[in-house]
Amino acid sequence: MSSPGTAASLRAANQVRVVRALRQHQELSQADIARDTGLAPATVSSIVKDLVAAGLLTTTGGAGRRGATVAISRRAGLVGGVDFGHSHVQVSLGDLGGRVLVTAQEPLDNDHAHEDGLALAHRMLDRLLAAESDAGDLHAVGIGLPAPLGADGVIDSGSILPGWIGVHAADAAEKEFGVPTRADNDANLGALAEHAVGAGRGTSSMAYLKLSSGVGCGLILDGRVYRGGIGTAGELGHMTMDETGPLCRCGSRGCLEAYVGGTALTAQFAPIRAQLSVREFVALANNGDTGAQRLIEDAGRYLGRAAAALANVLGPELLVIGGDLSDAGAPLIDGVRDGLRRHALAPVAAQVRVERAALGARSSSIGSVLYALEGLSLTGPARV
């Protein structure tokens, strides 16, 4: 370890700046790196030469030459991302440049034991690694869970996966995978991905609202994921909309999730057609079923009321709507926009944009890859 202010620490910090620029843009000339980072061209040339020799970077046109095109080497290694949903697990592999190379998904009962879920994810990850055998070793894994994780990393009773309650998620996963592992709420990871490479790219503040079986919210403030002092910031799904409303799984009444969550909507729709998944319910609405459309329009209005309160308090530039329910498109998104217009301060409503997630169902999975990448110390942690 080098002391702050030493030549070695300055060199390491400059290496981090170069790698961050390449993770953001994937490929740059050395002149572009110098412009992006503010470093002197000679400094960039020297850093590139060192990192090429270390196997982290690759160049076309010759290492150290200012006209060379530089990228993070595919052979430098891999990171894994695991996204646990209400009824599935999605596993991805990415390179050290943050590019997701391959993704697989398998069904998984929501009442699984956490050991069984991790074992399944491990088997899936091994299959993906076997197919990418020329890309180097696995360096780290990130996992996303539909649950609040406290500052101590333990999943509390708010999880929709009962087999994970009381578990230190990162420790359990690291024991399974055998590499450094980080865990976070899936909505936080969705926010990370959409901000880095999706609908929120270029913004400094945004909220990612994930609408699937439940309701999650990930916050980006001043360019970074905001988790709050106790680690559970963003639990918008348990904002009380009506204290005499329907019972929520958290034990309270009238929570937003009881009106907007996919499980709540399919339960309301059950007298018409029972045992639908959230995706099947959304497909019915998209195919013209008036009852399903009405429920989604109502959900949009409820979400808009909650989003207005969020916008008034935090003033994000953008609200990104993701998760399975976002496939409903305009009926849901328009309801959120209408809620902002009705319930947010006029200047807030006029400036906050509402967009559908650009990464679709892969937001949290891509975010788990980026989160794993953040924790690496090859040249210092990347912050996308």
| pLDDT above 70 coverage of the chain, percent | 94
| Contact between residue 312 and residue 304 where contact means Cβ atoms under 8 Å apart | no
Cα–Cα distance, 100 to 94 (Å, whole number):
4
C-beta separation of 336 from 310 below 8 A:
no
Structure tokens, 283: 């497909």
Cα–Cα distance, 383 to 373 (Å, whole number): 9
Question: For residue 39, what pLDDT is reported?
Answer: 94
Taken in order of first residue, the domains within the chain and their CATH numbers are 7-72 (1.10.10.10), 77-191+364-374 (3.30.420.40), 199-358 (3.30.420.40)
Least confident of 15-29, 41-55, 201-215, 247-261: 15-29
Half-sphere exposure of 153 (CA within 13 A, CB side): 11
* Res. 180 pLDDT band, cuts 50 70 90: very high
Q: What's the rounded Cα separation, in Å, for the pair 104 and 363?
A: 14
Query: Taking residues 350-363, what's their average pLDDT?
Result: 95
Among candidate residues 227, 198, 305, the one with its CA nearest the CA of residue 260: 305
CB 345 within 8 A of CB 312: yes
pLDDT tens-place string over residues 184-239: 999 999 999 999 999 999 999 999 999 999 999 999 999 999 999 998 899 999 99
Residue appearing with tokens 């059950």: 270
Type of residue at 305: R
Q: Where are the alpha helices (DSSP H) in 198-249?
A: none
Whether 23 shows a pLDDT value over 90: the answer reads: no
Query: What pLDDT score does 67 carry?
Result: 62
Check whether 2 has a pLDDT greater than 80: no
Write out pLDDT tens, residues 288-309. Answer: 999 999 999 999 999 999 999 9
Given this model, what pLDDT does residue 218 score? Answer: 97
DSSP conformation letters of 120-176: HHHHHHHHHHHHTGGG--EEEEEEEESS-B-TTSBB-TT-S-GGGTT-BHHHHHHHH
Task: Tell me what pLDDT residue 383 has.
Answer: 32
Whole-number pLDDT of residue 13: 87
Interval 341-365 mean pLDDT: 95
Write down the mean pLDDT value for the chain.
91
Kind plus residue range of the DSSP H or E element containing 344? none
CA–CA separation, 384 vs 224, rounded Å?
Answer: 8
Record the tokens describing residue 70, joined without a space.
Answer: 């530089």
Return the pLDDT at 239: 95
pLDDT in tens, 74-92: 788 899 999 999 889 999 9
Instruction: Give the C-alpha distances (Å, rounded to integers) separating 306 from 206, 309, 313, 343.
Output: 15, 5, 11, 9
Say if residue 380's pLDDT is above 70. Answer: no
